[in-house]
Amino acid sequence: MISLSKIVIVGAVGGGATVAGQIRFYDKNAEITIFDRDSTMSYAACGTPYAIGNVIEDPSSLLMTDPQQFKKERNINVFLKHEVLEIQRDNKQLLVKDLNTGKQFTESYDTLILAPGGSAMVPEIEGLDSAKVFVLRSYDDMQKISKFIDVNNPASCVISGAGFIGLEMAENLKALGLKVQLVHKSGQVMSILDSDISQLIEAELQANEVQLFKETVITKADSASVELSNGMRLQADFIIMSIGIKPNTELAEKAGLPIGETGGIMTNEFMQTIDPSIFALGDASENTDMVTGDPKRVPLAWPAHRQAFLIAQYLTGNAIPKKGLLGTSVVKIFSLTVAMTGLNERTIKNKGISYKTVIHRGNSNAGYYPDHAKITLKVHYDSASRKILGAQCIGGKGVDKRIDVLVTAIYAGLTIDDLQALELSYAPPYSSPKDPINMAGYKAFSK
């Protein structure tokens, strides 16, 4: 346990606000201060596409708390519109700028926690300054997009990037009646998936009249259109850039904290940097892969919240080492849900791992029950140890619970054969006597 007399946190969204709250839960006396350059804190960033699409009717419901409430309920000081410019490690001080007044001041710390998140990448494109271009990384970004749509009543949009945000925005903008055109540099959408699973997503996009342009990028833009590297010109009343996230590591780099091969701040098993008084978590931190032990960075909500708990436990005298990340994720794409965990086929091959794959195509629940859907479950496993390496599932319902079972199986070290023996809940509205998870185990066993 290290001194908790004064803790300063950089970043007030998911990871930063959560680690502050966790520390306060376990320690009632520590002085805790948070700085963030944004104007809002602790909002549900994952809900912003659905607020833009009016699925979430009240966008303010995404705001979990504010500085006044945090101070009143938890005695934690939060300063928004304040940017930390420099970490002075030798004397344990920060140089902070008040973005409202422009004034700079120093703030001391005993323990520093970095939760700076990441920033949306925007490439240099000819004419982009004359176009209406948006990113979606903050509550303010969401408000800007919604206001533009409400005021200008646009007819068309080009989305650059077919990852999580790009696909969620495609669905929600289509629901608003816009012509949606999705431009993607890769040869498949959601490049983290196996190609056969991605093809099912592409078919769903086509069925919902989202135009998809693969293996191309935007090369020119103006106020009404974009030109692609394949020579095509698309109408675009506005553009959503969702080509990727760059971790905000500049502050750590300036302070001499090592950056790992994934681009995140290097941390040990307790989320500690090389400086024992400085920790890092969330989108900007580098972790390890649970399956391979290799460096891994997962810019998603679950890892940030877990890391916040681990840091709070370490600081309050109950050190729990992290066990690596699987990169478990799920996304809704019109009528489909797609989820994954662990290694995809491309990564397994690149690592030179000897593996086998089992695929089960069936129903989410009893086929005679009126509310059922088709699902495809794909599981990769080690040929020798038969340990599960990774899995993907896509379909109309029940996808998330199958992946969640497989996450548990990987964490527990189960083999593909153990899936036969899992006594999973069954009733016709929910599953079948032999669940798709069981079926994957039986199919692998018969091989």
Task: Tell me phi and psi for residue 310, to 5 degrees.
Answer: -65, -40
Using CA atoms, how far apart are residues 304 and 149, in angstroms rounded to an integer?
Answer: 32
Q: How many CA atoms lie within 13 A of 304 on its CB side?
A: 24
Write down the residue that tokens 């804190």 correspond to.
Answer: 41
3-state secondary structure of 164: helix
Question: What phi-psi label fits residue 154: left (phi over 0), alpha (psi between -120 and 50 degrees) or beta?
Answer: beta
Q: 374-382 and 355-363: which strand pairing?
A: antiparallel
Annotated active-site residue in 27, 31, 37, 46: 46
User: Which residues are paired to 390 by β-bridges?
Assistant: 342, 380
The secondary structure of residue 63, as a DSSP letter, is: B
**Can you spell out the DSSP letters for 295-317?**
EE---SHHHHHHHHHHHHHHHTT
Rounded to the nearest 5 degrees, what angle is found at the Cα of 203, between the Cα atoms of 335 and 229? 125
Instruction: Based on the residue annotation, tell me whether 157 is a catalytic residue of this protein.
Output: no
Other Cβ atoms within 10 Å of 338 Cβ, number: 26
User: Which residues are paired to 34 by β-bridges?
Assistant: 9, 78
Residues annotated catalytic, as ranges: 46
